[in-house]
């Protein structure tokens, strides 16, 4: 039996990836246009250095750009605890923290803490923010 040859596509242009991630901080129209140009940008990340990795979803999350984040998720971006926190998805945050309690102190892009993502979600994420704040306070009492 002959082995099937694996053919890899070329890596995405780092400048295009950076443009997509930067746009996701605030420019929804540019995110959409760049995605139409190259749909594989959806899962791309930028290495800003020092272990600071950021995807377009991560960019939208830490700035509370709900419309951009929801659109990226509809296109197939991978939900994570930071997106769930910003979007007010309490059951997802609770589920992750029940399996991985140390994620309470996880840092997203640029070292931004999880609770900040919930704060940026505004009123829709208030339950998540209150839940995270309570968990942090409970830990502090136990120390």
**Could you list the residue range(s) of the whole structural domain that residue 133 is in?**
14-142
Tell me the CATH number at 128: 1.25.40
Q: Indicate whether 2 pLDDT > 80.
A: no
Domain annotation covers residue 96: yes
Average pLDDT over residues 114-131: 98
Q: Indicate whether 5 pLDDT > 80.
A: no
- Model confidence at 8, in pLDDT bands (50, 70, 90)? confident
Domain annotation covers residue 70: yes
pTM higher than 0.85: yes
Domain annotation covers residue 18: yes
What domain count does the chain have?
1
Domain annotation covers residue 56: yes
How much is the pLDDT for 7? 82
Domain annotation covers residue 105: yes
Domain annotation covers residue 75: yes
Close Cβ partners of 59 (under 8 Å, ≥ 6 residues apart)? 21, 22, 24, 25, 65, 109
Average pLDDT over residues 97-123: 97
The pLDDT tens digits for 52-108 are: 999 999 999 999 999 999 999 999 999 999 999 999 999 999 999 999 999 999 999
Domain annotation covers residue 1: no
How much is the pLDDT for 141? 85
How much is the pLDDT for 9? 86
Q: State the sign of the Cα–Cα–Cα–Cα dihedral 13, 72, 75, 71.
A: negative
Domain annotation covers residue 8: no
Per-residue HEC secondary structure of the chain comes to CCCCCCCCCCCCCHHHHHHHHHHCCCCHHHHHHHHHHCHHHHHCEEECCCCCEEEHHHHHHHCCCHHHHHHHHHHCCCCCHHHHHHHCCHHHHHHHHHHCHHHHHCECHHHCEHHHHHHHCHHHHHHHHHHHHHHHHHHHHHC
């Amino acid at each position: 039996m002959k082995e099937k040859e694996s053919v890899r596509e070329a890596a995405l242009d780092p400048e295009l990836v950076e443009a997509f991630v930067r746009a996701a901080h605030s420019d929804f129209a540019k995110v959409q246009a760049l995605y139409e140009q190259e749909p594989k940008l959806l899962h791309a990340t930028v290495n800003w250095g020092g272990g600071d990795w950021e995807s377009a979803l991560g960019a939208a999350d830490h700035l509370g750009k709900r419309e951009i984040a929801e659109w990226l998720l509809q296109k197939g971006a991978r939900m994570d605890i930071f997106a769930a926190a910003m979007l007010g998805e309490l059951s997802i945050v609770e589920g992750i923290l029940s399996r991985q309690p140390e994620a309470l102190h996880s840092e997203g892009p640029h070292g931004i803490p999880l609770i900040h993502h919930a704060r940026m979600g505004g009123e829709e994420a208030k339950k998540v923010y209150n839940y995270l704040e309570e968990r942090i306070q409970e830990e502090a009492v136990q120390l």
